[in-house]
Amino acid sequence: MATLDKIRKLRASRPQTGGGTRLRGIFHSWKDGDNIIRLVGEFLETKTHFIAPAPKRSERGLCQAVAFQGNEKMSPVINCLNWDVQKEEARQGGCPICRLHAIAQQVLNDDCTDDEKKLFEKLRRDTGPRTLLKWNIIDRDDPHVLSVDDGVERKVLGFKIASIGMEAWSDIEGIFDQMGFDISDVEEGLDICVNKGHNGTRVAYSAQAVIDKSTKPPSAKVTPLTEEERQLSQHDLKVICGKHVEAKRIIDALHEDYRELLEVNDSSEDDEPPVDDSGPDDEVSKPSAAKKAPVQPSADESPADDEEAEAAAEAAAEADDDGDGLLSGTVPIKKVKRTPVSEDAGSEKN
């Protein structure tokens, strides 16, 4: 009886397939070579961390592999907790990854051995937040998404969500400047070509306007949206790309040494020496960041497989972004002097 009630409750709380169709395959991923896309509408600025291992590059990553498996799996790419996606501005969100970043920086500022230097430089690189612009696009190479209606899938024309890193963005920004108008405009916007290539050491992105060679002289190809394209509704980027994982979950998923590094540096506010011979010592597992985790209702339901696709796309983009994959050692646990203004000093609601 109780179970049946629960099932009914669960069913009622989930989006009804009959009530509206769901879309799948909405996350665009960059393929090698040229990608012709049409930007539409406003972008959303996000700050992300790539936290998963990258086995292909023998990278153990920031978090343990097990965190990305099973029903409760995390996305390999998470939003930085110190970034308010809704307002698109920095906030004090107690981001444990940024905290590690600050600790690594601090260790590097202090005296450290050559080996430590290598490890902490790597940690600093791995923990830096990465800016990704989310943008509704028409994927000219494959403008279709999957519409799922009562379990029946069919291909329909639809916007996809592209993740644009700062490297491609610097070129795209250049196109905006060069054209002198909004190239994502419904009417006078134009197609652009984003190239995913390799510069010898890592994956590299570049972008340029698509040129219409049939005009004299050849000019950027203006591509007003068709009537059909205008009818499409844009994805709500803030809702779809704005979720935060709780700090505690992130901390729990970290590799042991990183978690310890946080604990050692954050468990006590004062600078008392770590040697302590008085009394029981089982208070270590209280990372302050966990208490300050912004509590976000996880009510929003987006199709799990879409999240997965997003994660995969972004993870792929991120994972081959940096060629230095050979260093995978654990870091020594060092306690650094606490910075006067710590980046997780204040908690914030929301």
Interface contacts to Zn ion, rule CB under 5 A: 80, 82, 95, 97-98, 129
Joined together, the tokens standing for residue 196 give 């995913």
The angle, 0 to 180 degrees and rounded to 10, between the axes of the packed helices 96-109 and 256-266 is 80
Shortest Å distance, C-beta 79 to Zn ion: 8
Nearer to Zn ion, 38 or 124 (CB): 124
Is 208:170 a contact under the CB 8 Å cutoff?
no
User: Cα(60)–Cα(53) distance, rounded to whole angstroms?
Assistant: 4
Nearer to Zn ion, 82 or 184 (CB): 82
Shortest Å distance, C-beta 93 to Zn ion: 8
Shortest Å distance, C-beta 81 to Zn ion: 6
Is 179:209 a contact under the CB 8 Å cutoff?
yes
Shortest Å distance, C-beta 330 to Zn ion: 21
Shortest Å distance, C-beta 80 to Zn ion: 3
Nearer to Zn ion, 39 or 52 (CB): 52
User: Cα(146)–Cα(142) distance, rounded to whole angstroms?
Assistant: 11
Q: What is the DSSP letter of 91?
A: -
| CB neighbour list of residue 343: distance below 8 Å, 6 or more residues apart | 82, 92, 95, 98, 99, 102
Nearer to Zn ion, 210 or 245 (CB): 245
Shortest Å distance, C-beta 255 to Zn ion: 17
Joined together, the tokens standing for residue 264 give 């050692």
Cis peptide before 217 (omega within 30 of 0): yes
Nearer to Zn ion, 79 or 223 (CB): 79
Q: How many other CB atoms sit within 10 Å of the CB of residue 196? A: 18
Nearer to Zn ion, 82 or 288 (CB): 82
User: Cα(115)–Cα(123) distance, rounded to whole angstroms?
Assistant: 12
Shortest Å distance, C-beta 129 to Zn ion: 5
Looking at residue 10, its amino acid is: L
Q: Is the dihedral of CA 195, 197, 199, 203 positive or negative?
A: positive
Nearer to Zn ion, 40 or 95 (CB): 95
Tally the residues of the chain. Answer: 350
Shortest Å distance, C-beta 343 to Zn ion: 9
Closest CA to 179 of 221, 145, 128: 221
Nearer to Zn ion, 221 or 248 (CB): 248
User: Cα(30)–Cα(33) distance, rounded to whole angstroms?
Assistant: 9
